[in-house]
Chains A and B, each alone.
Chain A
Amino acid sequence: MDLQELVDSHGNRLLRSACLLCGDETEAQDLVQETFVQALKSAHRFRGDSAVHTWLHGILLNLCRRHFRKQKRLVFEEERVLKETVQPVPADELDRDFCAKALAQAVQKLSSEHREVIVLRYYENLKIEEIARQTGVSKGTVKSRLHYAVRCLEQFIPREMNLFVSGDTHNGEP
């Protein structure tokens, strides 16, 4: 596959995922660029066992982890989380964009491990076993992290947004 084709097909989605993972657009752009560099360098090792996007996202995830490790040396993660506080939400501002932004901000407050599973599960739409493969942990650990991450988000997101209410209108079948 040609590089331009690769950038056109997967660039934007990788960038959005990177932005959710690292919380900064400029850093996300650099991470995506490095993802393509790494992909080209290791292209001969890609055997087509997974989809191209899954392979590229795996590279991105490793780069994000390296990025977080470097960042941790500068700012202790818990310290950064404590500094940020959830802004109270005025009732008249509860539109969809506001909810989306608030959720993206809340995702940034999670630890890197919990943020990873949220992004992989709810943005990349990966199945539990695919997440386990990408993150190198067991399915049980993925489910546990997912459960904890959602509970944390529930605390960060104001109740008025109704993000975590049950959908009684669904028919109950997958």
Chain B
Amino acid sequence: MMNCETFSDLLQEYLDETLEAQVQAAAQEHLRQCDACRQAFRRQQALAKSLRHCLDRATAGLSVRPGMRQDVLQALKSEPVTSSNWWSAGRRFIPLRPAGAVATLLGLLLLSVGIQVYRRAANDGASPTIAQTGHYTCVINVPMQTQTHVFRRQDNTIEDAVISSAGVGYAGFFEDREPPSPKTQPHPL
């Protein structure tokens, strides 16, 4: 047997008819027997009806501005690639599972160290060049996924837009170092 407190708690779901069949039947039985809850139920129904009617009426005159479709297409066309877009593109490229993410980072780290070692080894044989220029540069290209907006054009008007995320771009990181300056020995005197 349902009490008033439980009925009050379940009133909204009872109105939605989303309760389990058994609970819905118990609520209906309680409603039949309890005057106070019946009144609360009717009040809620009337309130919902009034609010729906008023909100519909208050906004009835509104309609989307003409040319909304063109504005949407224009906005899509001119939207710059923001940092969040790059972030989401990066997230799609990098596996989301922790193990995959760790493996990817470890791979990048090893790649970076490998390039450094290779550079140093190469520089050992070409030290005169570094000595002459005074700099060496390390470039790492990291593949990044990009988004492409494709617009269907017909009779010189843009018909529709299709989004593709298949493009691949590269972001470069540069490291530019000064060679260590020769230490000046203090005069023994």
- A88→B56 CA distance, assembly (Å): 23
- A40-B76, A146-B12 known; A96-B57 Cβ under 8 A: yes
Residue from B45, B51, B54, B57 within 8 A of A167 (CB atoms): B45
Closest to A44 in B: B163
Contact B76 A37 (CB under 8 A): yes
Contacts of B165 in A (CB 8 A): 44
Q: Decide yes or no whether A87 CB sits under 8 A from chain B.
A: no
Number of interface residues of B (CB under 8 A): 48
Query: Which residues in A have their C-beta under 8 angstroms from that of B69?
Result: 3-4, 7
> Known interface pairs A100-B57, A122-B52, A128-B13. Does A40 touch B42 (Cβ–Cβ under 8 Å)?
no
Report the separation of the CA atoms of residues A39 and B51 in the bound assembly, to the nearest whole angstrom.
Answer: 29
A33 CB–B CB distance under 8 Å: yes
B64 within 8 A of A: yes
Task: From B15-23, B106-114, B121-129, B167-175, give the one contacting chain A.
Answer: B15-23
Q: Report chain B residues within 8 Å CB of A174.
A: 14-15, 17
B58 interface residue per 8 A CB criterion: yes
Q: Is the CB of A40 within 8 A of B39?
A: no
CB-contacts of A112-133 with B (<8 A): 118-119, 121-123, 125, 127-129
Q: Say yes or no: A29 contacts B163, CB within 8 Å.
A: no
Find out whether the CB atom of B55 lies under 8 angstroms from the CB atom of A29.
Answer: no
Shortest CB–CB separation between residue B49 and chain A, in angstroms?
7
Query: Is residue B72 contacting chain A, with contact meaning CB distance below 8 A?
Result: yes
A138 CB to nearest chain B CB (Å): 13
CB contacts (< 8 Å) of A152 on chain B: these are: none
Contact with A along B20-47 (1 / 0, CB 8 A): 0000000010010000001101110111
A59 at the B interface (CB under 8 A) = no
Q: Which of A36, A43, A96, A129 contacts B163 (CB 8 A)?
A: A43
Contacts A37-B72, A99-B54, A165-B43 known; list 9 others, CB within 8 Å: A2-B160, A3-B69, A3-B73, A40-B72, A100-B58, A125-B52, A139-B13, A167-B43, A174-B15
Interfacial residues, chain A to chain B (CB-CB below 8 A): 2-4, 7, 11-12, 14-16, 19-20, 25, 28-29, 32-34, 36-37, 40-41, 43-44, 96-97, 99-101, 103-104, 107, 118-119, 121-123, 125, 127-129, 139, 143, 146, 150, 163-168, 170, 172-174
Which B residues lie at the A interface, using CB under 8 A?
Answer: 9, 12-18, 28, 31, 38-39, 41-43, 45-60, 62-65, 68-69, 71-73, 75-76, 79, 147, 160-161, 163, 165
A-B contact pairs, 13 of them (CB 8 A): A11-B68, A32-B68, A36-B68, A41-B163, A100-B54, A100-B58, A101-B58, A103-B51, A123-B52, A128-B13, A128-B16, A163-B50, A174-B14
